[in-house]
Amino acid sequence: MSDERPGHDHPDGRGRTGLHRTGRDLSGNADVRVTDVEVVSDGWHVLRRTTFDYRGRDGAWTTQSRETYDRGNGATVLLYDPEARTLLLTRQFRFPAYVNGHPDGMLVETAAGLLDGDAPEEAIRREAAEELGVRIGELEHLFDLYMSPGSVTERVHFYAAPYRPADIVGGGGVADEGEEIEAVTIGYDEALGMIADGRIADGKTVILVQWGALTLFTR
């Protein structure tokens, strides 16, 4: 039977279909059997309530329900100038942080964005150009992490890349998407200090700066 609700068998405003089927065909874990997937919200991102049977260590099956927030996967990059020993970061307003206690919502972060159908490397090259005006050449893939696996499906691909200030052209984000991004140049040691005193409070950025401290800053 056809389901003509937007995002189901009928495309929604972003051209998506099959949102109610995600997770139904999972077979990698014999202790999990998905029985129902309900699309709670399908605005820009998708909120699902999934019901599944779970077999515990004692062999008993229980029925559980979880809500998952699907915003797609993303990528982020630590841009560094090895000669000046500086990092090129962004500063922009983040309303979710503002509404959850950040003093002004202005977060210092590494360049990042959603894949939007592109391969991770292509996506982060796009984001670095849009946000910071950097055309990345050499690009090192570091690792892929689930950032909030208790409720968010997103997996972020982490990269590092050198840059030269003379190569920066444009940047500032995409105006049509409401982006207003400031480029911030910060020394290696200062970045570590900003983590310690809370001026850098973004998870992906902390991870990349700490990676830099272990492998990059000592070169």
Task: Give the residue numbers of the binding site for Mg(2+).
Answer: 112, 127, 131, 179
Residue with tokens 């970061």: 89
Tell me the two tokens of residue 156: 């972020």
Q: Which helix (H) or strand (E) holds 48?
A: strand 46-55
Q: Which helix (H) or strand (E) holds 95?
A: helix 95-99
The strand pair at 155-162 and 74-81 is best described as parallel
Cβ(209)–Cβ(200) under 8 Å? yes
Positive or negative, the CA dihedral 14, 20, 21, 27 is positive
d(C-alpha 203, C-alpha 156), whole Å: 11
Q: Residues at the annotated binding site?
A: 112, 127, 131, 179
Q: Counting beta carbons within 10 angstroms of the beta carbon of residue 73, is it exposed (0 to 12), middle (13 to 18) or buried (19 or more)?
A: middle
Tell me the two tokens of residue 139: 């690009």
Residues 6+ apart with CB under 8 A from 103: none
DSSP reduced 3-state for 45: coil
d(C-alpha 17, C-alpha 11), whole Å: 5
